[in-house]
Amino acid sequence: MNIDDFKIERYFSQYEFTAKYLLSSSDCDGYSVKYLLDHASSEELSAWENQKLGYTETKGSPELRRAISGHYQTMGTDNLLVLTPGEGNFCLMNVLLERGDEVICMSPMYQSLYQVAESIGCKLNFWKPEYQHNDWYYNPEQLKAMVNKKTKLIIVNFPHNPTGYMPSSTDWDQIIAIARVNNLYLFSDEMYRYLGTNPNYKLTPACELYENAISLWGMSKTFGLAGLRIGWLASKNKAVLAKVEAFKDYLSICNSGPSEILSTIALNHSDKFITPNNEKIAGNIKHFQDFHQRNPDLIEFSVPRGGSTAFVRLNIPKSTMEYAEILVKNTGIMLLPAETFDYGTDFVRIGFGRSNLAEILKVWEKYLHSGSN
């Protein structure tokens, strides 16, 4: 694997901790440890204060897995494997795939979801969206037509990063059916689950609908706790989870004990974390709509159906990479250009999870009106 291929993270490493304003972050503002502990029960506080900093169970602590299973209808603790989100993707690809397998994945998409498969020697087939009236649509009929005898895995991500797309329940059922009829594995990145304010787009996790589906979720996006580095795989296919667990022995082996306890607290009091994040996202989307109305010639935008991001077209005479570089140098605003997603040169990702979005838009607008762009 060529580590330089991970364009999204390479670009973030260049600006994430040096740029003054981050307008493309996919996560929400991180909560403080104090905020988290302020919502803990007395028993949870005791577990935190009396923990011992030793090794933990490879699968994740029983308490954490019980807290996770409470957010599913049919996933018990034995249907869960706790690890870091990126580790989950890396391990799963390595235990499921072999050189010569074919993989269908969405495009644009977070790069590690397919780059690992390509590094194994798999052939990638990209399921691309239709873009009409400033909106996105992934047509299940196109997905169906892409499946062939060599296809082994379908990779999806809903709510979708970066477009904010969510399928209807009818389309979601069709996607699940395509995997089932063809006896394919379905890897469903659900890291943005529960994020989004449209009640018409709430999906049942793939792992609950299909026995060969593996769902990925975690603390990073939904809960605003990316620093805990806790995620998990959920599946009815326990044989696959066992293989991933064995592969994990060569990587982290086990999870951080303090992170497991803090994650358990957040999961047990999830409304204290998810509701403020969704309120923030809703408010920021309104700010961006107002910005769009004031600058209709610059951007094309429609409200995302879910998640914390949107992929907006910039109507500019240069590539989005060029524009992003100019903008960050002149204003301190970091945008994530389409080139980092290997998806043309016209779009940028906008993130709605940070509390200073309105301030950032004022800085951007002042720059636009300065005539120096």
CA-to-CA separations, 322 to 20, 22, 250, 292, in angstroms, rounded = 19, 17, 41, 21
Q: Which domains does the chain have, with CATH numbers?
A: 3-31+272-367 (3.90.1150.10), 41-269 (3.40.640.10)
Distance from C-alpha of 262 to C-alpha of 37, rounded to nearest angstrom: 8
pLDDT band, residue 201 (cuts 50/70/90):
confident
The runs of H, that is alpha helices, within 6-84 are: 7-15, 33-38, 42-49, 62-69
Do residues 36 and 227 touch, judged by C-beta distance below 8 A? no
Distance from C-alpha of 123 to C-alpha of 243, rounded to nearest angstrom: 23
Q: Return the half-sphere exposure (C-beta side, CA atoms, 13 A cut-off) of residue 224.
A: 25
pLDDT band, residue 1 (cuts 50/70/90):
low
Name the token pair of 299: 């951007």
Tell me how crowded residue 4 is: count the other CB atoms within 10 A of its CB.
Answer: 7
Q: What is the pLDDT of residue 250?
A: 94
The pLDDT tens digits of the residues spanning 93-137 come to 999 999 999 999 999 999 989 999 999 999 999 999 999 888 999
pLDDT band, residue 372 (cuts 50/70/90):
low
Distance from C-alpha of 86 to C-alpha of 112, rounded to nearest angstrom: 8
Q: What is the pLDDT of residue 198?
A: 82
pLDDT band, residue 6 (cuts 50/70/90):
confident
Mean predicted lDDT score pLDDT of the chain: 95
Q: What is the pLDDT of residue 112?
A: 87
Q: What is the pLDDT of residue 259?
A: 98
Burial pattern 197-234, b for ≥16 Cβ within 10 A else e, equals eeeebebebbbbbbebbbbbbbbbbbbbbbebbbbbbb
The DSSP annotation for 175-225 comes to: HHHHHHHTT-EEEEE-TTTT--S-TT--PPPHHHH-TTEEEEEESSSSSS-
Mean pLDDT of 212-239: 98
Q: What is the pLDDT of residue 373?
A: 63
The pLDDT tens digits of the residues spanning 276-290 come to 999 999 999 999 999
The pLDDT tens digits of the residues spanning 249-266 come to 999 999 999 999 999 999
CA-to-CA separations, 331 to 23, 230, 294, in angstroms, rounded = 12, 34, 19
Distance from C-alpha of 76 to C-alpha of 315, rounded to nearest angstrom: 49
Name the token pair of 89: 């993707």
Q: Return the half-sphere exposure (C-beta side, CA atoms, 13 A cut-off) of residue 229.
A: 9
Q: Looking at the chain, how many residues does it have?
A: 373
pLDDT band, residue 4 (cuts 50/70/90):
low
CA-to-CA separations, 89 to 184, 215, 254, 260, in angstroms, rounded = 17, 10, 16, 19
Name the token pair of 160: 């979708």
Q: In the chain, pLDDT over 70 holds for what percent of residues?
A: 98
